[in-house]
Amino acid sequence: MELWIFFLVAYAAVTAAALVMTFREQRSKGISTRVHIAAGYMLCTAWPAVVAVMVIFYKPMLQDS
């Protein structure tokens, strides 16, 4: 298995977990506005990418110090 496949599977797993938790939270709080629902789902798919980018770009900085 290539390394990129592992990262994609891990990304998909984290995103799926975040989507499920967001769905449950929105349902329990009674959020029914389409804008809030769409924003929540888009952020669930975006934040793992932000974390990955931070790890990639900040790792060399941490190794130098």
Instruction: Provide CB contacts within 8 A for 45, sequence distance 6+.
Output: 15, 19
Q: Is 30 left (phi over 0), alpha (psi -120 to 50) or beta?
A: left
> What pLDDT score does 1 carry?
57
What is residue 64's predicted lDDT score, i.e. its pLDDT?
64
What pLDDT, on the 0 to 100 scale, is given for residue 32? 78
Give the global pTM: 0.67
pLDDT of amino acid 28: 93
**pLDDT tens digits, residue range 9-65?**
888 898 889 889 988 998 899 877 889 888 888 988 888 888 878 877 876 666 665
